Chains A and B, each alone.
Chain A
Amino acid sequence: MSTVAPQLVTSEFTPPEASHVEDYSIRTNDLSLWYGDFQALMDVSVNIKKGIITGLIGPSGCGKTTLLRCFNRINERYGNVTTTGDIEILDKNIYDEDVSVRQLRRSVGMVFQRPNPLPISIYDNVLFGMGIHDAFKSLPKSERNDIVENALREVDLWNTVKDRLKSRATTLTLEQQQKLCIARLLPLKPDIILMDEPCSALDAEGIEKVENLIESLRDEYTVVIVTHNMAQARRATDECIFMLLGEIIEHTKTSEMFLNPQHEKTEMYIQGRYG
């Protein structure tokens, strides 16, 4: 993983080593998606490794957010979406009949572009997911407090907010709100965390802190992050997927993509000459 030696990778991505199935958290197979008549994804086949941070980059409208929003099936809330192909998450096709969307979204958490803590207290925000998934009312109060404390500690927010857990989450700064949005996923013990430009609403300092937090999530969670910010993709991701017009152009280690892009379009984009 840590070797930076340039290595030829074909633009049609194939896994570097034909390894075990369980090394991948997300595998898509010929995934196509239409919004009405407009095709947003074209035969996307991609394997996203477990326990690393994968970046999705590409110009606006290339389908990276659409792809991300397929992984927890949140795309479906717009009625006019048609999908073909397979998405296997943790070796289960999420479009199978017997898949519970609720359980899927428990395993696959999502962080949005604009921090969206709910207009309830910080404490209730952290426990919100638990309230939906568990009969958590049976949990004693001390255990609930522990859950909140652990989640907030993990995102480095506990010391800042421990004295005002009952105040409204929307009174926090944007950076704190975004951390809280990550914290509220953690009590559900997700395997995968999807992030849709999680830093684009933040200032430079906030970006740094949230990026550090994302880095700390590596290993324990599989993180897929959509970003417009090339510098961020370079800093904060292990592998990068470059998309263009609904297709995957290149998927390789981040260091290789930025040092030695295999595809002309990739090179133009990461140098800022395109998009």
Chain B
Amino acid sequence: MSESSPTTGQGFSLRRGIEKVIDFTEPAVVGLIHLCGWSAIIFVMAIFFFVFKESLPAITGLEEGAVHGEVEQLDLVEFTTSPKWIPESAKKPTFGILALMVGTLSVTILSMVIAVPLGLGAAVYVSEFAKGKPREILKVLIELLAAIPSVVWGFIGLVVLNPMLVDMTGEPVGLNILNAGIVLALMSVPIIVSVSEDALRAVPDSFREAGIALGANRWEMVYKVLFPAAKNGLLAAVLLGIGRGIGETMAVLMCTGHSVMMPTSIFDPVRTLTATIAAELGEAVRGDMHYHTLFLIGVVLFVFAFIINLTADLIVKGIKVQGNE
């Protein structure tokens, strides 16, 4: 006992031997952790750089592969305002992504209209009303829902939802905004539920007691106390859901009908930005205008994602600033 515990000064120098090894390994571990942290940023920057670089020739113009020998250049006005996406036309290829943007937005918006109430409702139920076993089972099931691959969701939309929509709406084909919106909603719900459930459970119990002690029933407590208190987290949940919707590819490729057109109702088929890249990049001639334009669509998606995240940040920060004044 007296040997191991440094009751005499000798003990200090015994420990020192081991600490020398630690002194040596410590900077290595710290360095490794720093590297892990920075690598995330480096990878994102690298991806952004690559996508941007590949899209650049479309804007600056490219000489090889030009049809009539003159420099071929993408008309940016046409790119953003034309609903015509005819990249493989032999006569005159047209690269207009308006219809694709409208397709992405309409599917995403419809999916959020369905998913946000459903997801928030489920989160409120799981965090405030369900107890014990049912609660645990429900949580596991919701997590399981998040683990279903998107191609399986697409399959469900194609094989199950498609005939159902044909029966119910009387449309000739059930692959449309509604179909993709429903499938995308079901895919976003698990994210919205788990993030907003965390946000609700992070609300201190003392807030709930304050509401209840003032006479609120459980529902009033939820929407008058919990929602304001968990506002930021709930907003983050919704924005993550939107991000999921805009970025989703395989399921929307299978469920939207994948036809380029400006929709006039939710029963119209559309095509999304992501699905266009997925379906066409493999066939586009590397280095020609079509190829570079598909990367430019990637940049557009980047910009969408950036705007969403920035809005989220600003809203969250705005709330904080208001709170601190």
Give me the interface of A with B, judged by CB distance under 8 Å: 72, 74, 77, 79, 101-103, 105-106, 109-110, 112, 114, 116-120, 128-129, 131-133, 164, 167-168, 170-171, 181, 184-185, 188
Contacts and interface: CB of A to CB of B under 8 A. Distances in A.
A116 B215 contact: no
Given A110-B213, A117-B210, 10 more contacts: A77-B209, A105-B213, A105-B214, A112-B210, A116-B210, A118-B228, A119-B228, A129-B215, A132-B214, A185-B214
A79 B131 contact: yes
A105 B215 contact: yes
B122 interface: no
Given A109-B213, A129-B215, A132-B220, A168 B322 contact: yes
A204 to B, nearest CB: 23
Contacts of A112: 206, 209-210, 213
Given A105-B214, A132-B224, A171-B323, A116 B206 contact: yes
Given A120-B228, A128-B224, A133 B209 contact: no
Contacts of B131: 79
B212 A74 contact: yes
Contacts of B207: 116, 118-119
Contacts of A101: 215
A132 B324 CA distance: 27
Contact of B211 (A118, A133, A170, A171): A118
Nearest to B230: A119
A261 to B, nearest CB: 33
Given A79-B131, A131-B224, A167-B325, A106 B210 contact: no
Max chain A C-beta neighbours (<10 A), residue from B206, B211, B225: B206
Given A79-B131, A116-B204, A132-B215, A171 B324 contact: yes
21 contacts: A72-B213, A74-B213, A77-B209, A77-B212, A79-B131, A101-B215, A105-B212, A112-B213, A114-B206, A116-B204, A116-B206, A116-B209, A117-B210, A118-B210, A129-B215, A132-B214, A132-B215, A132-B224, A164-B325, A171-B323, A188-B214
B216 interface: yes
Contacts of A118: 207, 210-211, 225, 228-229
B130 to A, nearest CB: 12
Most buried by A among B204, B214, B225, B228: B214
A52 B211 CA distance: 26
Nearest to B211: A118
A68 to B, nearest CB: 11
A170 B323 contact: yes
A118 B227 CA distance: 11
B214 A129 contact: yes
Contacts of B10: none
A118 B229 CA distance: 7
Contacts of A109: 213-214
Contacts of A128: 211, 214, 224
B264 interface: no
Contacts of A116: 204, 206-207, 209-210
B173 to A, nearest CB: 49
B229 A119 contact: yes
Interface of B is mostly: helix
B89 interface: no
Nearest to B231: A119
Given A119-B229, A132-B220, A168-B323, A184 B214 contact: yes
B215 A102 contact: yes
Nearest to A76: B212
Nearest to B210: A116
A114 B215 CA distance: 19
Contacts of B229: 118-119
A166 B249 CA distance: 45
B8 interface: no
A136 B5 CA distance: 71
Interface string B182-223: 000000000000000000000010111111111111001000
A181 B210 contact: yes
B223 to A, nearest CB: 11
A106 B213 contact: no
A168 B231 CA distance: 14
B212 to A, nearest CB: 6
A119 to B, nearest CB: 5
Nearest to A102: B215
Nearest to A104: B215
A146 B228 CA distance: 25
A103 B217 CA distance: 11
Q: Would you list the 9 A-B pairs with minimal beta carbon distance, nearest first?
A: A116-B206, A110-B213, A105-B215, A129-B214, A116-B210, A168-B323, A102-B215, A119-B229, A132-B215
Nearest to B325: A167
Nearest to A113: B206
A120 B230 CA distance: 11
Nearest to A79: B131
B228 to A, nearest CB: 5
Contacts of A110: 209, 213
